[in-house]
């Protein structure tokens, strides 16, 4: 507040002749891309006859993040298949299958924290000191140019969703207005997360003395050692459904009714593993503790 700058200092900020003592950082351009690319491909096929009809599709998708030198990205593969059989004049069966696998990689800090740091960090602060390392930024070492990289760690999430359904429809030959329908569906949703938090060093520069001071920053939890938290969630849902249906037209009137029974079973498992005090999360030697939630 109430800072006074000499004309010489203003000129050095403007022309960039002394970026160490008079940095002029555009944090938006330092952290954000002008364009983030994505691509999507899909392939589908369909066909059939009086006896069988089928449809199948396969697709993939990739999205890059909006951060320069950032680790933010998204990948997805999806598969879908539907097939119906007319086994007899009165009996029809079908099978539907869908599968989706997605993988996300995020910085350890949220987008809210990153954008907050972008717009709160002073332009008189350098993003990096040449030959030294990243600057401390503001608020406990929140340098947004570093937060978007894998230096503070990474937050990886993957999800696999499988939905299957077997269906049937049987028209009663002895009562043509009645039919029996039903399905058996199994839905499985598996999610895996690996949050690796890594303390890192940032620097501040005192131009009155020409010396650097170091600060051990942990962008996520304030831990003084690396920490890996692995979480898994497995949701399993099974549903049974059967119905007796009645449908009849009487002149201009149409009557349609059914009597149904449905039952579902659901199971969820959520184990969690925390590992501390190791350097490489892929190391074969690990020390930690196991817990569940």
Domain spans in the chain, listed from the N-terminal domain onward: 7-292
User: Would you give the DSSP letter of residue 280?
Assistant: -
pLDDT band, very low/low/confident/very high, at 283 (cuts 50, 70, 90): very low
What pLDDT, on a 0 to 100 scale, did the predictor assign at position 96?
A: 96
> SS3 for 163?
strand
Query: Averaged over 9-25, what is the pLDDT?
Result: 92
pTM for the complete prediction? 0.78
Query: Averaged over 135-153, what is the pLDDT?
Result: 88
Report the range of poorest mean pLDDT among 49-63, 119-133, 279-293. Answer: 279-293
What pLDDT, on a 0 to 100 scale, did the predictor assign at position 270?
A: 84
What pLDDT, on a 0 to 100 scale, did the predictor assign at position 37?
A: 95
What pLDDT, on a 0 to 100 scale, did the predictor assign at position 290?
A: 38
Query: Averaged over 184-202, what is the pLDDT?
Result: 92
pLDDT digits (tens, 9 = 90+) for 145-189: 999 999 999 999 999 999 999 999 999 988 888 999 999 999 999
pLDDT digits (tens, 9 = 90+) for 35-74: 999 999 999 999 999 899 999 999 999 999 999 999 999 9
pLDDT at 219 over 60: no
């Amino acid at each position: 507040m109430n800072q006074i700058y000499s004309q010489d200092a203003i000129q050095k900020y403007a022309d960039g002749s002394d970026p160490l003592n008079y940095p002029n950082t555009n944090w938006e351009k330092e952290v954000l891309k002008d364009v983030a690319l994505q691509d999507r491909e899909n392939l589908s096929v369909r066909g059939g006859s009086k006896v069988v009809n089928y449809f199948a599709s396969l697709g993939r998708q990739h999205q890059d993040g909006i951060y320069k030198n950032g680790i933010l990205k998204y990948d997805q593969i999806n598969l879908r298949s539907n097939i119906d059989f007319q086994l007899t004049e009165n009996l029809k069966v079908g099978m539907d299958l869908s599968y989706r696998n997605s993988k996300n990689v995020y910085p350890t800090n949220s987008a809210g924290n990153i954008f907050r740091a972008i717009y709160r960090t002073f332009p008189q602060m350098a993003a990096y000191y040449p030959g030294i390392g990243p600057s401390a930024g503001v608020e406990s070492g929140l340098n947004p140019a570093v937060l978007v990289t894998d230096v503070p760690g990474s937050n990886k999430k993957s999800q696999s969703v499988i939905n299957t359904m077997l269906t049937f429809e049987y028209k009663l030959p002895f009562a043509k207005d009645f039919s029996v329908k039903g399905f058996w569906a199994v839905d499985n949703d598996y999610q895996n997360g690996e949050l690796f938090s890594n303390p890192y060093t940032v620097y501040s520069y005192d131009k009155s003395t020409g010396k650097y001071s170091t600060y051990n920053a942990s962008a996520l939890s304030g831990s003084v050692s690396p920490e890996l938290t692995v979480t898994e969630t497995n949701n399993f849902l099974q549903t049974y459904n059967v119905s007796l249906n009645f449908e009849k037209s009487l002149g201009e009137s149409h009557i349609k009714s059914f009597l149904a029974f449905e039952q579902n079973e659901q199971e969820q498992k959520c184990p969690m593993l925390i590992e501390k005090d190791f350097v490489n999360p892929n190391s074969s030697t690990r020390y930690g503790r196991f817990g569940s939630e």
